[in-house]
Chains A and B, each alone.
Chain A
Amino acid sequence: MSAGWPVRGWKGKITRMNLLVRFLLSLVLTLTALPSRSQMTIEIIGGASNKVPIAILPFRMQLEGGPNPGDVITTDLERSGYFRLLDSKGGVSPADTDALALSEWKSRGADAVVMGHVIPAREGRVEVRFWLYDAVRMAQLAALSYTTTPAGLRSVAHRISDLVHEKLLGEPGAYSGRIAYILKRGSRYELQVADADSQNPITVVASPEPIISPAWSPDGQKLAYVSFENRKPVVYVQNLADGQRKAVANFRGSNSAPAWSPDGRGLAVVLSKDDTSQIYLLDLQTGEARRFTRGGALDTEPLFSPDGRWLYFTSDRGGSPQIYRADIASGDVSRITFEGGYNVSPALSPDGKTLAFVHRRDGRFRIAVMDLASRQMQVLTDTTFDESPSFAANGRLLLYATLVNGRGVLATVSVDGRVRQRLSQSGDLREPAWAR
């Protein structure tokens, strides 16, 4: 029971007025988001049935400028769909943990409280201290200090979000990763890299011709992608630190669908130099491409399992596009998907146990997952043009591309299908890939 509300006789009206106010507010926010060119809009749909009520106190900042980590953590946790954020705007984190009114937060409904400080450190660096409390048991769950540059504040905040998520829900969060995607604005294609919350986007390649299929190297230092700048698809690998790049597959015909081997030394690619589209294993040191699949069927979208044992791929060898996997050592191939006439774009969870893919049913392309042990399949989305699923490092969230009102947007869905978000921008967003 929330104290202080004029409940009797007004409840109905308040609820309705609240709805109206909230709706108008969201309308205003939507409209203000329109004019600016590069506004990223984030929309959350659904959420967990039992959200953890949590209070994130604004961090005490002994520093001019820079984001308040408390705000970043609040946004992260709110977006996840697993937390209910209590209003904590009034109370900045106390200077001392003893001054934290834990029982008061408990009486206001909080199960957990986060407080923190940002303190100047030596050589222009900053120290971020944070504490996480269980308000129900009145116990400290975490107390950590991070030292970083002022520019690293946001990324420290994401790592705190990961930790809070893990401490309270028992599984790691996916707030601190990076994503790559293609942004098409007019006739310009940009390969961008951004934080997992789509902040800090940086264009790493810009071209007047299409770019598709970005793939992160296992160490997160390089991106492989397909560029059409020479009137045909060619596979490039680009070093992110210095922007240097190299055409690694530029054979006669088409070169596409790069997938990194787990050791980062090679790529599986699709080439048409000898036959119709077939999978080859490319050694990045020698440049040698060894043919892996054979036969007149079309084979594409290769993907290594994290343990390096399997190569998953899409093939129409059975008459319709389906996902298969080959034992890399023996070359033996078995079919994985059977339900429906179109299953493509395989993605694997980091533990290799769950397969995500695009499944067509009744003319609609949607994201589905399959537990590889039981072969149970579940469709997660209800949109029509879903593409390119990619797992977050925690294996609990999938990032994918879809069309909303004819425009490309990025979306995430939890592997249980309950929490969904959309990220949109002026221009078309497509081909997302989550860094491991």
Chain B
Amino acid sequence: MKQAIPALILLALLAGCAEQPPKDAVIEDRAIRSSPPAVTGYPVDARPATGRPMDTPAMAAARTDGTTAPAADAARPQAGAQLIETRPLAGADAQVKPLDGTPLDGERKDEASTADVQNVIALKLKDPNSPLSKRIIHFDFDSSVIRDEFRGLLEAHAEFLKSNPDSKVILQGHTDERGSREYNLALGQRRAESVYSALSLLGVGDAQMEAVSLGEEKPLVEGHDESAWQQNRRAEILYQGE
């Protein structure tokens, strides 16, 4: 009876923790810095120190110098000041500089010159009754074939693009989350190109369109089941300036 008690406690604990069966695994936790400093003096050089044999008694005599970089606390970018931040790994005189391309830089330049176009688009695209408000084309598993049900949607956008030759679209292809990210990027590219070809056949010029892929990186719906995957296999039409 005495022997049974610990076993029962163990059983109860095990049942209560069925989500995380301990198996034989050793679980360790080790703290890492909760807010890692931007620069910790971690050597960029792959050889942080030099080793030498200790076979002679005159060990202290000839000292081999290591190559570890000195600690540096400099150069931490202001959080939130810019969208993208990069940080140097080490180097005392390193400075973080703003990046070459802040997002949508190119588009900002265009915005002013095509302000009137943007207004027209904004009005039309915001109208929920306009077919232009529909932007998403869904695809079957492992397919980039556009289903018939999306013909009307594509025709509406083709007409709009043809009658507004200054307007531009970016066609983004997407996949579900399964498998390789890079392979999915290529699959999403095919879906975007499929929409590109369809619009092209409807008379839209190459200069007005760009087909790109976001692969599995921007799911419409979070989730790891077929219903989520189905909604995430898609292409989206984005107008410039939106």
The residues of A with any CB-CB pair to B shorter than 8 Å are 12-13, 16-17, 19-20, 23-24, 26-27, 29-30, 32-33, 36-45, 75, 78, 121-122, 125, 128-129, 131, 143-149, 151-152, 155-156, 159, 193, 198-210, 212-213, 219-221, 227-233, 238, 240-247, 252-254, 256-257, 270, 272, 276-277, 298-301, 314, 321, 342, 344-345, 358, 360, 365, 385, 387-388, 403, 405-406, 430-431, 435
Contact = CB atoms under 8 A, between A and B. Distances in A.
Contacts of A159: 49, 51
Interface residues of B, number: 96
B187 interface: yes
B224 interface: yes
A264 to B, nearest CB: 14
B103 A152 contact: no
B148 interface: no
A242 B100 contact: no
Interface in B1-46: 2-3, 6-7, 9-10, 13-14, 17, 19-20, 22-36, 38-44, 46
A23 B13 contact: yes
Interface in B78-101: 83-91, 94-97, 99-101
Given A75-B30, A201-B32, A147 B213 contact: no
Contacts of A42: 27-30
Contact of A277 (B14, B25, B55, B186): B186
B179 A360 contact: yes
Interface in B171-208: 172, 177-183, 185-187, 189-190, 193
Contacts of B43: 152, 155
A152 B182 contact: no
Contacts of A19: 10
A256 B182 contact: yes
B30 A129 contact: no
Contact of B189 (A45, A205, A276): A276
B54 A125 contact: no
A30 B30 CA distance: 11
B50 A147 contact: yes
Nearest to A405: B19
B218 A277 contact: no
24 contacts: A17-B6, A19-B10, A29-B27, A41-B27, A43-B25, A43-B26, A145-B52, A146-B66, A200-B36, A203-B87, A232-B172, A241-B88, A241-B89, A242-B95, A243-B97, A245-B86, A256-B186, A270-B185, A276-B189, A276-B190, A299-B186, A300-B183, A430-B181, A431-B181
Contacts of A245: 86, 99-100
B154 interface: no
Interface of B: 2-3, 6-7, 9-10, 13-14, 17, 19-20, 22-36, 38-44, 46, 48-55, 59, 63-66, 68, 70-71, 75, 83-91, 94-97, 99-101, 103-106, 170, 172, 177-183, 185-187, 189-190, 193, 210-215, 217-218, 224, 238
Contact of A233 (B30, B48, B213): B213
A113 B75 CA distance: 43
A207 B71 contact: no
Nearest to B9: A20
Nearest to A227: B84
A298 B186 contact: yes
A256 B40 contact: no
A129 B54 contact: yes
A301 B182 contact: yes
Nearest to A33: B29
A430 B180 CA distance: 11
Contacts of A431: 181
Given A149-B70, A254-B213, A229 B224 contact: no
B54 A40 contact: no
A172 to B, nearest CB: 14
Contacts of B7: 16
Given A243-B75, A245-B100, A365-B179, 10 more contacts: A27-B17, A38-B32, A78-B26, A145-B52, A151-B41, A151-B42, A233-B185, A241-B91, A257-B185, A270-B182
Give the most central of A75, A228, A245: most B CB within 10 Å.
Answer: A228
B32 A230 contact: no
A388 B217 contact: no
A366 to B, nearest CB: 12
B237 to A, nearest CB: 12
Contacts of A360: 179
Contacts of A78: 26
A156 B193 CA distance: 52
Nearest to A32: B29
Contacts of B17: 27
B96 A257 contact: no
B170 A30 contact: no
Nearest to B85: A206
Contacts of B71: 149, 151
Contacts of A430: 181
Contacts of A242: 88, 91, 94-95
B182 A213 contact: yes
A231 B83 CA distance: 13
Nearest to B188: A254
B180 A344 contact: yes
B22 A23 contact: yes
A205 B182 contact: no
A41 B212 CA distance: 37
Contacts of A121: 63
Given A143-B53, A272-B211, A38 B34 contact: yes
Contacts of B2: 13
User: Top 9 nearest A-B pairs by Cβ distance?
Assistant: A148-B49, A232-B212, A33-B29, A243-B88, A210-B217, A277-B186, A152-B68, A143-B54, A344-B180
Contact of A147 (B65, B99, B187, B238): B65
Contacts of A193: 89
B33 A38 contact: yes
B3 A358 contact: no
Contacts of B177: 385
A149 B66 contact: yes
A81 B190 CA distance: 44
Contacts of B29: 29-30, 32-33, 39-42
